[in-house]
């Protein structure tokens, strides 16, 4: 397989990104899922987001969920925040790993938050300073990094210049979001080539959707660049609600199953993870798109 990392860190995003894109579920179900995931051996979990309850009712109970969830030693928990107010809530709740999003596509950013990418970057600069002031870490997620549903292809140079800006502003990590499943091995290569030529050291994380079947091929491509941090969602939780059956987030089991077979350690117990995916399926009350959940591991 050539030179590949021997260890990969998965951030489980099912409780936040997954459930945020499903019909609302009860607080206790969220806590049960979080606790199950905390005991799979996963190193990181995106637990909640502190967004306005009117904008995203699925996350209205973020404070209660986070307060009730087990904090398992060795697991790093993070929260997504939309702005300084959300960051304040997250910090007050005791979280110290925060994520904030900006879109590489100006059109997409305006449709999401009614601001230009540049305006959002200015806000983020202040937000990073605030998080650092509270001894927290701040990751910047650049959405539409591999393409925009409104603008089409996004120039890798534009993505790279946004990385430059947020690194200058102190971002502790940069994540690339495959917002509508437009990433392919070629686009992943192009973005990583452009970014790594200018930023050799900042930690990078990739977040892929499996909308067009490419998620694991994209991860395979990124592994060859030495990328060791990936988002994934238990069971594939968080499929686009407007396209029945269409897959959104790549399923954590599928990622772990492939990586382990390649001799790449994740620290995760695949059987425990599949149990958590079954729980996720039960919680949302519908079949989730994960092939490994459905078919089981290649050898069990």
- Active-site annotation, residues: 240
CA nearest to 147, candidates 209, 204, 193:
209
Query: Per CB under 8 A, which region of 32-40, 116-124, 134-142, 289-297 contacts a second copy?
Result: 289-297
Phi, psi dihedrals of residue 234, rounded to the nearest 5°? -55, 130
Determine if 265 is a binding residue for a second copy (CB under 8 A): no
212 lies in the binding site for a second copy (CB under 8 A): yes
* Sequence-ordered list of residues with C-beta below 8 angstroms from that of 54, at least 6 positions apart, any chain: none
Is 278 one of the binding residues for a second copy (CB under 8 A)?
no
Question: Which CB, 30 or 108, lies closer to a second copy?
Answer: 108
Considering only the stretches 62-70, 82-90, 130-138, 217-225, report the one whose residues sit in contact with a second copy under the rule CB under 8 A.
Answer: 217-225
Among the listed residues 244, 251, 245, the one whose alpha carbon sits nearest the alpha carbon of residue 268: 251
* Identity of the residue, 38 or 210, whose beta carbon is nearer to a second copy in the bound complex: 210
Cβ-contact 10, 228 below 8 angstroms? no
CB of 141 to a second copy, least distance (A): 20
**Residue 109 CB neighbours (<10 A):** 23
Scanning residues 141 to 200, which ones bind a second copy (CB under 8 A)? 147, 152-153, 181-182, 184-187, 189
Q: How far is the CB of 264 from a second copy (least distance, A)?
A: 9
Nearest to 218 by CA among 247, 190, 253, 260: 190
In angstroms, what is the minimal distance from the CB of 83 to a second copy?
Answer: 30
Residue 116 and residue 113: Cα distance in Å, rounded? Answer: 8
Task: Provide the sign of the torsion angle of the four alpha carbons 182, 183, 185, 188, taken in this order.
Answer: positive
Interface contacts to a second copy, rule CB under 8 A = 1, 147, 152-153, 181-182, 184-187, 189, 210-217, 219-221, 243-247, 250-251, 254, 257-258, 261-263, 287, 290-292, 294-295, 297-299
């Amino acid at each position: 397989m050539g030179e590949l990392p021997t260890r990969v860190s998965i951030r489980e995003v099912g409780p936040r990104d997954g459930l945020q894109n499903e019909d609302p579920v009860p607080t206790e179900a969220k806590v049960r899922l979080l606790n199950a995931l905390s005991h799979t051996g996963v190193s990181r979990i995106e637990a909640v987001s502190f967004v306005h309850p009117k904008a995203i009712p699925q996350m209205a109970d973020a404070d209660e969920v986070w307060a009730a969830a087990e904090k398992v030693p060795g697991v790093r928990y993070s929260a997504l925040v939309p702005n300084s107010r959300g960051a304040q809530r997250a910090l007050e709740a005791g979280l110290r790993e925060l994520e904030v999003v900006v879109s590489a596509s100006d059109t997409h950013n305006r449709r999401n938050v009614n601001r230009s990418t540049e305006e959002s970057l200015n806000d983020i600069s202040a937000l990073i300073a605030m998080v650092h002031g509270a001894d927290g870490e701040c990751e910047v997620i650049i959405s539409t990094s591999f393409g925009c549903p409104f603008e089409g292809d996004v120039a890798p140079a534009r993505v790279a210049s946004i990385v430059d800006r947020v690194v200058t502003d102190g971002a502790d990590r940069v994540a690339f979001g495959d917002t509508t499943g437009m990433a392919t091995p070629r686009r992943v290569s192009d973005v990583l080539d452009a970014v790594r030529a200018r930023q050799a050291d900042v930690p990078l994380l990739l977040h892929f959707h499996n909308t067009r079947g490419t998620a694991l091929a994209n991860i395979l491509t990124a592994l060859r660049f030495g990328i060791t941090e990936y988002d994934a969602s238990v069971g594939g939780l968080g499929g686009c609600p407007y396209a029945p059956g269409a897959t959104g987030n790549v399923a954590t089991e599928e990622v772990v199953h492939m990586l382990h077979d390649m001799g790449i350690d994740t620290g995760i117990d695949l059987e425990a993870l599949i149990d958590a995916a079954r729980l996720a399926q039960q919680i949302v009350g519908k079949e989730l798109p994960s092939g490994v959940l459905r078919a089981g591991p290649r050898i069990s």
